[in-house]
Amino acid sequence: MLYADENQLLINPEHLGPDEEKVVLNADKTEVTIMANVTMVEVKKRQLKDEFTILSNVIIDSVTYGGTVNTGCHGVGRGCPALPDLVVKLEVVNDKGDLVTYSRADDGEEFMNAVTTNLGLFGFVYKMTLAVKQNKITVETHNEYHSVKDTLTNSSKLKHLAESNWSTEIFWFPYNSILHNIKELLKIKKEDFLKLPTPNLDKWDPLQDDCWLRLTNDKSGGKTEKCLFHFRHKFNDALGELGLKAITPLLDAAPNLNPYFCCLNSHVVKLQPSKICVQLPDAIHFRKFVHWAPVHDMEFAFVVDHDYSNIVEACKVVIDEIERRARQGNFPMNVCMEMRFMGESKSLLCPAVVGQHSPNKEVKTAYIEVLSLVRRQSRLARLHSSNCHWMEQDWR
């Protein structure tokens, strides 16, 4: 479907192409060609069925390959590049309506690094061919909980985590050490619910909050979870996202609820199993139904210093700011801060290109993102523009 105005064309690719052309795996299982409107979950199902693996990807399963490859979305995993780095061929409908093909084989690496993260500027990407691993990969994910002090602000611990696990993801849901206030919340009468006073954060120390560590490693030959696990996981995610959707307007009406909500959220996360063995595509795309409760997501990529000290500094910027705001009764980050580590990208417009390419040196990139439920837009925007010091640092 096309929508046009004077200088622009808005394309809705929802009904693009016949089903049999949507995901096509080549005979020796080294490349897969995917249409732009195909979602992560559709390709995940094909990976599980045909036993191949896309080694770099996005955690939510509802977004499309067109929307993630062409914007330079990252993946997760030590040494993993970004999604556009896997592209070997792009088929693009240009501004004249011609179908043009760009490929590493015909146009070379340098050219492809310039066009793979294209933000739609070369036209409408119709299909993309990605390099894949020919086999299925079984992994084990450990869910652990350690204090902020012991993780986000501890450079040697961060280094150890990021370098001893294939994938390290760290989530901080702020205020989660104020559990005593949750107990107070439960005593509140229904009619006083929205009048809830600002939680007493005098004793809150962000360094004592717990972080959720999601550590994933190879587990070849491991026994993977049964159908029931996947059903339960799906059910929990659906329930969680519906809960987030319902609570969003409430948090706007009564901002003081934010710390209680974040605290509760973090404790709900702890209900999941401590160890999960699944196929890699299941481990990567582990969040479902995220589109039901939209969030604002600000994300930066940092080249990791040899001792991880700049990553600690970057985390402290957020922690200090959230603490300062909380003391004033402001709660701009009401979902979480998330950090994960990967390699670098060669695709020029991809944020993970921040490293200086060096053939002899492995460049590590840390992605740090701040997530807030959508109705927090104004507060989040203020946090970003006036007080986020990331932009001012020479960390590129």
141 binding ligand FAD? (CB under 6 A)? no
125 binding ligand FAD? (CB under 6 A)? yes
CB–CB of 51/133 below 8 Å? Answer: no
Least gap, CB of 104 to ligand FAD (angstroms):
18
Which of helix, strand or coil describes residue 13?
Answer: coil
Residue of 119, 227, 228, 271 that binds ligand FAD (CB under 6 A): 119
Least gap, CB of 294 to ligand FAD (angstroms):
7
Site size toward ligand FAD, by CB under 6 A: 21
Side chain identity, residue 64? T
Task: Name the H helices within the chain.
Answer: 40-50, 65-69, 104-115, 155-164, 179-186, 227-253, 257-269, 280-284, 309-327, 377-382
Positions 273 through 292 that interact with ligand FAD (CB under 6 A): 290
Assigned token pair, 81: 């590049």
| Region from 64-72, 347-355, 372-380, 385-393 binding ligand FAD, contact rule CB under 6 A | 64-72
79 binding ligand FAD? (CB under 6 A)? no
Least gap, CB of 369 to ligand FAD (angstroms):
8
Which of helix, strand or coil describes residue 384?
Answer: helix
Residue closer to ligand FAD, measured from CB, 57 or 181: 57
Binding mask 294-313 for ligand FAD (x = CB under 6 A): -x-x----------------
1 binding ligand FAD? (CB under 6 A)? no
Residue closer to ligand FAD, measured from CB, 60 or 207: 60
CB–CB of 333/372 below 8 Å? Answer: yes
Distances (CA, A) of 258 to 199, 240, 252, 315, 392: 9, 16, 9, 21, 29
Assigned token pair, 95: 């501004």
Residue of 52, 66, 214, 219 that binds ligand FAD (CB under 6 A): 66
Assigned token pair, 223: 């026994």
Cα 329 to chain center, whole Å?
28
Assigned token pair, 67: 């929307």
68 binding ligand FAD? (CB under 6 A)? yes
Binding mask 30-59 for ligand FAD (x = CB under 6 A): ------x---------------------xx
CA gap 86, 312 in Å, rounded: 30
Which residues make up the interface to ligand FAD (CB under 6 A)? 13, 36, 58-60, 63-64, 66-68, 70-71, 73-74, 119-120, 124-125, 290, 295, 297
